[in-house]
Amino acid sequence: MNFARNAISAIVLAAMGLTTVPALAARKAASATVAQTPVLDPVTSQLLDAAIAGGHRSAEERARDVYRHPRESLAFYGITSTMTVIEVSPGAGWWTELLAPLLRDGGKLQVAMNTNVNGGSRRGLGETLSRYAAAPKIYDKVELINYAPAQGTKLGVDGNADMVLVFRHMHGLIGSNLAPQALKLYFDALKPGGILAIEQHRWPDAQPYPDRKPGWEGVNSGYIKEADVIALATAAGFKLVGKSEVNANPKDTRDHPRGVWNLPPVLRDGDVDRDKYLAIGESDRMTLKFVKPTA
């Protein structure tokens, strides 16, 4: 069995307790009407604009706005400045730079990462804490919460969050066979009616997954089918309420020798075909909005 072609489907089936893909249900969920992008309320709009223009952001990070569409993406998800928001696996903190000042006074930002100081994530935790300490006017109210799907540790307090943001993280969960466990944590953490926001590098639903290639990292080199992400989230109890093409990139051919990591910002192969990858820009991405049902 080819791992790259079958791993994701197997994980989806296991999560749903089935032996065949529930094609009709998946098609119905995937065909949900594209949601109208909500209009940000005036306070949220002003705070977000100030965060985007903030002097705490480097020129390099600002340059990525054209690919990440922060204002449009957060408006689509319906964020407000008074929400309790959990940002899952923040990486270098590109989104945290915007969310922390946005939520600082009226809401709460909880950053979910492995906080085990004796584990393999010690370096990342140390870098995060140092970054926060260096800019207290931005990060002083950010709360770190432990994120360990393999251990089933609760994601903060059950039923406390208004929104959980999962940006470019599903491929890692799927590659580690942890997607069902993680999605349960998100579901439990959210209030009824709470929002699960997923952004993920996208492989075309109608196109078979490719063979793995030397140098690729994770399952299918970071690209996942939208239908597979939807199936996993709905199996966890979420309802798909909207899809947006705000983060689509038709220039992304997805056939890069080292997958999504050939593209910026990583540029895994350095100067090899650098201009080509810079011309493509960041990956083509799905932008999905789910809710936790109220009943």
- For the four alpha carbons of 116, 122, 126 and 132, in that order, the dihedral sign comes to negative
Lowest mean pLDDT among 5-14, 36-45, 60-69, 78-87: 5-14
> pLDDT value at position 62?
96
pLDDT tens-digit map of 133-153: 999 999 999 999 999 999 999
Q: What percent of the chain has pLDDT over 90?
A: 72
- pTM for this structure? 0.88
Structure confidence at residue 38 (pLDDT) = 73
Q: What is the rounded CA–CA span in Å between residue 205 and residue 146?
A: 33
Cα separation, 9 vs 56, in Å, equals 42
Average pLDDT, rounded, for the chain: 87
Contact residues for 119 (Cβ-Cβ < 8 A; gap 6+): none
Q: Which one-letter DSSP state was computed for residue 200?
A: E
Mean pLDDT of 74-83: 98
SS3 196: strand
- In tens, the pLDDT along 11-21 reads 454 444 433 33
Show the DSSP H helices in the chain as ranges: 3-16, 23-30, 42-52, 59-62, 65-68, 70-77, 96-103, 122-134, 136-139, 170-175, 179-189, 226-235, 274-280
Q: Give the least confident one: 23-37, 38-52, 84-98.
A: 23-37
Q: For residue 101, is pLDDT > 70?
A: yes
Mean pLDDT is lowest, of 101-110, 119-128, 138-147, 244-253, for 119-128
Give mean pLDDT, residues 189-215. 89
3-class DSSP state of 225:
strand
